A = this chain, B = another copy of it.
Amino acid sequence: MVEISSDVIRGYNDTIILFLLKDKPSYGYEIQKQIRNLSEEKYIIKETTLYSAFTRLEKSGFVESFTDDTSGKKRTYYKITDEGQKYYNDKCKEWDLTKEVIENFIVREVENGNN
């Protein structure tokens, strides 16, 4: 079974989170489930990684937090800022470049020339 290592995804956790906040505010638990689902269980972000990412993103001014408990549960929601949106866009561009660069060093296996 091929597993995704954390070092690989490391540069994209913040981007992934911002993507999920792009259209509406959300909170930790939900984000975690969405990452799990959208990746079809291929990537399951650790709680601590996620929450420390929120802290970092807020410090950087890429998200803003507010609390809400109208659902019964008290939650800390995060909302993307304009700065955050810009950062996200930049990261998407960076991704294209990164992909290009890495693929110079990746050999795609030729699956058996027979038959």
Contacts and interface: CB of A to CB of B under 8 A. Distances in A.
B10 A101 contact: no
Q: Count this chain's copies in the assembly.
A: 2
A71 interface: no
Nearest to A6: B11
A42 B96 CA distance: 12
Interface of A: 2-12, 15-16, 19-20, 22, 38-39, 42-43, 89-90, 92-102, 104-109
Given A104-B38, A109-B89, A98 B4 contact: yes
A77 to B, nearest CB: 19
B8 A94 contact: yes
21 contacts: A2-B90, A4-B94, A4-B98, A5-B11, A6-B11, A7-B11, A8-B12, A8-B98, A10-B11, A12-B105, A16-B105, A19-B105, A20-B105, A39-B101, A42-B97, A42-B100, A89-B109, A92-B107, A95-B102, A95-B106, A99-B99
